[in-house]
């Protein structure tokens, strides 16, 4: 275990910025126009369901069910994997995040368990929540010191109920749960989906959180979680399986939300919307047109917000006009996706992680 984690940390410390990310954005924007995607499996294990991946420099990290986590080195094309149990409990991890020096993974269900790479050479438990309703959905960092995770309501106040938000201000060494008095009150039946670790979007100090279920809304903080307000969305809701599943922002103003109903994957009404005013108002796009349900949506880097990829268990879809029209690039399904640069991404799903090369 110790040697694995030491290797894990060395990979993080050795991360370097990809040169292509420094290219001129306008030039890259003009060159991006996908017609196909090549899919190369890099990890195959039918026992795993992988909903959370993180690119850390020259490495790809993941955590999943069966208490399993690991890291893939792009240069050496090698995997290091391990497990992290809690006593006799086998956690299912559906949220991951990182700083320049540490990797974090957060489990669903109760007790909620949040681990970070530690100085002792092993994964260290830095937060635990035993509320029977604890269910955390996503995690992200603003910078190397400050991070956030969000989850479903736990009825932790008698008169007020709110979504669960925990925040760290010391690099992930400790986490504190926000009191419902500083958060908008939740609507009964409003929660979130731990489908792709993409319920949270961050641009600078600004943060957006997407909920779903009986009501699908956007929670917005302009100041790294100090204050909050909430905005309605036009996404389909009203049932436990409906609403927003994924949010992404290209800049502080332009964003997209996607979802639908995973029990009706072909449903293409009320499942995709964009904002141009930082999330205050949203407009449905491609109504009655494919794609249907998707669990993860990402702007293509350096594309001016015009190019977007959406993934779900039914396949991969692409728009080059900010969501107005879409085309299917592949029927191969994935739960979640992360871009490495403007033409290469990594996606994970049932039993696999793959490298995606868009052309």
Distance in angstroms (rounded) separating the CA atoms of residues 308 and 114: 31
Per-residue pLDDT of 126-156, as tens digits, reads 999 999 999 999 999 999 999 999 999 997 5
The partner residues of 86 in beta bridges, in order of sequence, read: 89
Query: Greater confidence, 28 or 158?
Result: 158
Distance in angstroms (rounded) separating the CA atoms of residues 186 and 190: 6
Per-residue pLDDT of 103-119, as tens digits, reads 999 999 999 999 999 87
Backbone φ and ψ of 60, nearest 5°: -120, 125
Stated pTM of the model: 0.92
User: Does the CA dihedral 191-298-8-1 come out positive or negative?
Assistant: positive
> What is the DSSP code (8-state) at residue 108?
S
Mean pLDDT of 148-169: 89
**Of 248, 323, 311, 341, residue with least CA distance to 31:** 341
Residue 28 lies in a domain: no
Mean pLDDT of 284-294: 98
* pLDDT at res. 121: 72
Asked whether residue 5 carries a pLDDT value surpassing 80, the answer given is: no
The CATH number assigned to the domain holding 244 equals 2.130.10.10
CB atoms within 10 A of CB 174: 12
Number of Cα atoms under 13 Å in the Cβ half of residue 53: 27
Per-residue pLDDT of 234-250, as tens digits, reads 999 999 999 999 999 99
Number of Cα atoms under 13 Å in the Cβ half of residue 274: 20
- What's the domain range around 122? 2-17+38-358
pLDDT band for position 259 (50/70/90)? very high
Query: Greater confidence, 28 or 297?
Result: 297
CB atoms within 10 A of CB 31: 11
* Total number of domains in the chain: 1
254 neighbors 228 (Cβ within 8 angstroms): no
Residue 323 lies in a domain: yes
Residue 31 lies in a domain: no
* pLDDT at res. 122: 87
Residue 33 lies in a domain: no
Asked whether residue 356 carries a pLDDT value surpassing 60, the answer given is: yes
Strands (DSSP E) found in 34-118 = 37-49, 52-56, 59-63, 68-73, 78-83, 93-98, 103-107, 112-117
Asked whether residue 203 carries a pLDDT value surpassing 80, the answer given is: yes
> Please, is 276 exposed, middle or buried when counting C-beta atoms within 10 Å of its C-beta (0-12, 13-18, 19+)?
middle
Residue 23 lies in a domain: no
**Of 111, 153, 103, 157, residue with least CA distance to 131:** 111
Per-residue pLDDT of 174-199, as tens digits, reads 999 999 999 999 999 999 999 999 99
Residue 350 lies in a domain: yes
Residue 306 lies in a domain: yes
Residue 297 lies in a domain: yes
Number of Cα atoms under 13 Å in the Cβ half of residue 210: 37
């Amino acid at each position: 275990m110790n040697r694995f984690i030491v290797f894990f940390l060395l990979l993080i410390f050795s991360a370097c910025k990809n040169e292509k990310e420094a290219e001129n954005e306008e030039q890259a924007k003009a060159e991006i126009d996908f017609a196909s995607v090549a899919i190369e499996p890099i990890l195959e294990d039918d026992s795993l369901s992988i909903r959370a991946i993180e690119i850390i420099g020259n490495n790809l990290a993941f955590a999943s069910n069966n208490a399993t986590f690991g890291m893939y080195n792009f240069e050496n094309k090698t995997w290091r994997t391990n497990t992290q149990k809690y006593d006799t409990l086998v956690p299912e991890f559906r949220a991951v995040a990182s700083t320049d020096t540490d990797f974090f993974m957060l489990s669903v269900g109760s007790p909620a368990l949040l681990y970070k790479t530690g100085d002792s050479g092993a994964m260290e438990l830095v937060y635990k929540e035993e509320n029977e309703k604890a269910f955390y959905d996503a995690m992200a960092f603003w910078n190397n010191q400050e991070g956030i995770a969000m989850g479903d309501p736990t009825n932790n106040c008698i008169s007020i109920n709110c979504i669960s938000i925990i925040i760290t201000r010391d690099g992930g060494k400790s986490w504190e749960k926000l009191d419902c008095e500083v958060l908008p009150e939740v609507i009964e039946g409003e929660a979130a989906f731990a489908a792709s670790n993409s319920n949270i979007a961050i641009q600078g100090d600004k943060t957006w959180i997407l909920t779903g279920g009986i009501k699908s809304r956007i929670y917005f903080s302009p100041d790294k979680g100090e204050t909050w307000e909430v905005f309605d969305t036009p996404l389909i809701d009203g049932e436990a399986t409906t609403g927003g599943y994924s949010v992404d922002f290209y800049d502080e103003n332009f964003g997209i939300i996607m979802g639908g109903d995973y029990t009706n994957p072909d449903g293409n009404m009320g499942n995709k919307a964009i904002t141009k005013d930082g999330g205050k108002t949203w407009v449905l796009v491609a109504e009655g047109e494919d794609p249907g349900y998707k669990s993860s949506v990402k702007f293509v880097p350096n594309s001016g917000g015009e190019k977007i990829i959406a993934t779900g268990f039914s396949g991969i879809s692409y728009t080059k006009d900010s969501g107005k029209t879409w085309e299917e690039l592949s029927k191969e399904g994935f739960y979640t996706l992360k871009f490495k640069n403007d033409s290469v991404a990594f996606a994970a799903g049932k039993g696999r992680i793959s490298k995606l090369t868009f052309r």
